[in-house]
Structure 1
Amino acid sequence: MARKNKREPWEEEEEIIWVSKSEMKRDMEALQKLGEELVALKPAVLAKFPLDEDLREAIADAQRFEKEARRRQLQRIGKLMRAVDPEPIQAALDLLNNKHSQQSIELHKLEKMRDRVVAEGDKAINDVMALHPKADRQKLRQLARQAKKEQEGNKPPKAYREIFQYLKALKAESEA
């Protein structure tokens, strides 16, 4: 009589997760790329990142090295990255990259508002006044008229730039 292989309820099966060599290599290369991004940063920006002392020194060395020494140092940084949790470092890097894109989006909004002020005049100025009650309506009108004259006369866009700087100052003042 054949015996059936029964498992007792207290015998739990351990789940073994096999990781292929290729997957381990991909993970190590990803850590090395993260290290390369850190090496590309300026020291003042890098000081804000959550790095341990060994990694910080290795990155500073890599920034000084050139050619083959730099390549070897980047590999060493990748090896050091395996010992630390890369999530907080990646999060800080993503925040830094997002900060720059957010700033450029804000500048594009200001440029559009400036273009509206020059093109539409009082209607756009009223919108600016609704957003920034402390704005000087008379100054905006005067700059808008000057910018329009400059455009019509093919002159350098001095007032056009002044409107942008004024809107930028208003935005900074409202955020503070």
Structure 2
Amino acid sequence: MARHNSRPDAADDDFEPVSKSQLKRESDALQEMGEALIPLDKKLLQSLNLPERLYNALIEAKKLTANGAVARQKQYIGKWMRQIDPAPIKELLDAIAGVSDRHNAWLHQLERQRDQLVDDPKALESFIAAHPQADVQQLRQLIRNIHKEREQQKPPKAFRELFQLLKSYHPEPALPGAELDKGDDDDKDET
């Protein structure tokens, strides 16, 4: 009696069957990746050249509000995700996360500079030397107001104003993929 080998390539000794648990984990990961696409704007989704049914499922998911309907739609999106190459989608989502991380680092840098300006008079001199176009009088006035606000335990209005002023001197750097972080306002009008 001949023995039937169910392996795809009997000559391939490296073949290891994939467990049901592993298949489920992969399926869940693809569904989560698909769910991450739901909040993205239409232009970004179109740039991925997704199959029409997956694209339409994502657009439909944006409109749903009932929990059961949303859950079913996410499963449907997961079904379609298993039928496409997820690599371009992963690259896009990673790029978006990277842009967000760089943006946060930029904001933290501005916060540190603001704190230095308020706490160290020499930091103001360094800032003025680095930014000769800066309005020195405005900077000094904001710093004085910050100290008054702290003494009088008032809301940090001048503290926030100084941060906004620093943003104008240090515009957010143009990062590769920065357009990924921008939403398309036209998507909100269509239903």
Instruction: Give the TM-score normalised by the residue count of structure 1.
Output: 0.77
Q: Distance in 2 between matches of 1:70 and 1:173?
A: 36
Q: Relative contact order (alpha carbons < 8 A, sep ≥ 6): 1 or 2 greater? A: 2
CA contact (8 A) 1:118 1:147 kept: yes
Query: Which secondary structure state, in structure 1, belongs to the residue aligned with residue 142 of structure 2?
Result: helix
Measure the CA separation in 1 of the matches of 2:47 and 2:173. Answer: 29
Identity %: 42
**Are the equivalent residues in 1 in contact too, given 2:117–2:123 (CA < 8 A)?**
yes
Greater CA radius of gyration, 1 or 2?
A: 1
Task: Kindly indicate whether the alpha-carbon contact (under 8 Å) linking 1:49 and 1:89 is maintained by their aligned counterparts in 2.
Answer: no
RMSD of the alignment, in Å?
Answer: 2.5
Whole-angstrom CA distance in 2 between matches of 1:174 and 1:43: 22
Paired with 1:89 and 1:120, the residues of 2 have a C-alpha distance of: 46
Q: Does 1:171 align with 2:170?
A: yes
Q: How does 1:92-107 map to 2 (within 5 A)?
A: 92-107=92-107
For structure 2, list consecutive stretches of 5 or more residues without a partner in the other structure.
Answer: 1-10, 175-191
Distance 1:142 1:118 in 2: 11
Judged with a 3 Å threshold, the aligned counterparts in structure 2 of structure 1 residues 67 and 149 are, in CA distance, closer, same or farther, namely: closer
Residues 12-161 of structure 1 correspond to what in structure 2 (within 5 A)? 13-14=11-12, 15-39=14-38, 41-44=39-42, 46-47=44-45, 50-52=48-50, 53-65=52-64, 66-121=66-121, 123-161=122-160
Rounded to whole Å, the distance in 2 between the matches of 1:173 and 1:67 is 38
Q: Which has the higher helix share?
A: 1
